[in-house]
Amino acid sequence: MDPQLRDEHRQLLEKNQKQLLTYGTSGFREESKYLKFVGWRVGIFIGQMSKNTTLKLGVMITASHNKIIDNGFKIVPPKGGMLSIEEEQNIEIFYKSEEIVQSETQYDTGIVYVGRDTRPSSESLCQIVLDGIKEAGAIGINLGIVTTPQCAFLVYATNLGLVNQIESNQQFFVEYFCNIFLQLIKNPIKGTLVIDGAEGVGGIWIKYFQEKLANVLTIQRINYGDEPHLLNDGCGSEFVQKEKKLPKNFVYDPNYRYASLDGDADRLVYYYFEQNKLQIIEGDRFAILFAMYIKQQLQKKPDLKLSIGIIQTAYANSASTKYITENLGIYAKYAPTGVKYLHRVAHEFDIGIYFEANGHGAVIYKDHVLSQLKEFELFELELFLKLSNQAVGDAIINILMTEFLLNKLEITIQDWLLIYQDYPALSTKLYVKNKQIIKTNYEETSLIEPIDLKQKVDEIMSKYDNSYRTCIRPSGTENVVRIHSEGPQVEIVKEIDFRINELLKSYMEI
């Protein structure tokens, strides 16, 4: 099977002038017709990997917010989260190798859970992964249709001993988080929350939360997965955020709150519509809302010393960073673009909060934090942190955390948006022949090479005060250079963007 699939894979890539795949933040992701061989090799790799641990592993088959013809594979480590850099390199080498080398393993077998989204290609790709796991001598267990965070949490929860027989108890995900939420909510939350499920798996699973929480939270679902062939089509968080448009089936009511998930339910945006204008709550504001509450609670016990950090990318609006550091007094740290980088840096703090602008994020904490909160009798904060999915960023669970905070702090979506004012920002991209000549610092906030290009950029920026900035970086997925500029006045931001683009056009081959 391996040589046949490998040859088919190569022929498809050559025919369509595609390169071999790389394992990135989203795992392996590509148009589904290219993925049979990749899925087979992923199954064998993780099957072998599972035989070197007593813990369970996972694979999620999804392409998140991508178009429906795409799909992908993301490996779930024992604690959820992301693979290490070394493990990412190993799986890429294994996928690209000519022959499979069956290495020595510590145990005779292992267990791998495999989840999938609702894409037409997901079921057949799931079977290929399961066949690969079996080929490696491990046991593959089909979780069926689950969200990406749900798959990660079920692996994590099983390894912690929170649940047994995961294969027959995917509902544990709903029960676990709903029980915590019900302990936090003292009275029914006013108004109705409308959740756009992107016609994906999140819309399906929201139904169970809707039923379980009916006495305290009124949820109305739209685009909830009954038309899976329209996945991410005119709906979902990616559509709302990037297109700045309302999702299909939107009905306005001034008493409603609105939220959109992405296709696999790990991204989230809130928004409201007023005077024919769409106002969107993006990732930075979730981080600040969560941090405000955590800081308020910890201030009740000054003797309790816990470090808090908010992790952002170069795309985070500078006004949010200024508010975090100056108003909240919380440390803000940059990480490279990609949730895997933010997740790793967040572990440096006792309580780490990370969100990308696209609404993908989480609150994670070190093992000792909950016991210290209990010792200092901060029981509500203990429950709030327990409510956070520790395995990975989770849009559905972040909705529960958000609804608790809006209710607890007695603020509306409009109030939330007014906590600080974003600087005007402009993000553009330039198609180039060789993006690799562009080198940045680790955090991607400053250009390092080419040196003469950096000098010209610095010369342009020297004409503006320090409240303006521009970031230039090579795209991780396209042959483009991305430019992000921002500052207090929109006309000056446009001017900076134009001048940087013109400089790059004259400097690079396009």
Annotated catalytic residues are 64
Q: Six-digit token pair at 137?
A: 């001598």
d(CA 489, CA 45): 52
Residue 257 in contact with residue 297, Cβ under 8 Å?
no
d(CA 453, CA 461): 12
Q: Six-digit token pair at 203?
A: 């819309």
Those residues with Cβ within 8 angstroms of residue 405's Cβ, 6 or more apart along the chain or in another chain: 289, 290, 293
d(CA 281, CA 411): 14
> Assign residue 11 a region: left if phi > 0, alpha if psi is -120 to 50, beta otherwise?
alpha
Candidates 250, 240, 293; CA nearest to 403 is 293
Residue 413 in contact with residue 280, Cβ under 8 Å?
no
Those residues with Cβ within 8 angstroms of residue 457's Cβ, 6 or more apart along the chain or in another chain: 447, 470, 472, 500, 503
Q: Six-digit token pair at 93?
A: 């080498």
Long-range contacts of 308-311 (CB under 8 A, 24+ apart): 308/349, 308/350, 308/351, 308/352, 308/353, 309/333, 309/345, 309/346, 309/348, 309/349, 309/351, 309/352, 309/353, 310/353, 310/354, 311/335, 311/342, 311/345, 311/346, 311/352, 311/353, 311/354
Cα dihedral 73, 117, 359, 496, rounded to 10, equals 60
Candidates 159, 388, 394, 395; CA nearest to 270 is 395
Query: Helical H runs in 389-450?
Result: 395-408, 413-417
Those residues with Cβ within 8 angstroms of residue 186's Cβ, 6 or more apart along the chain or in another chain: none
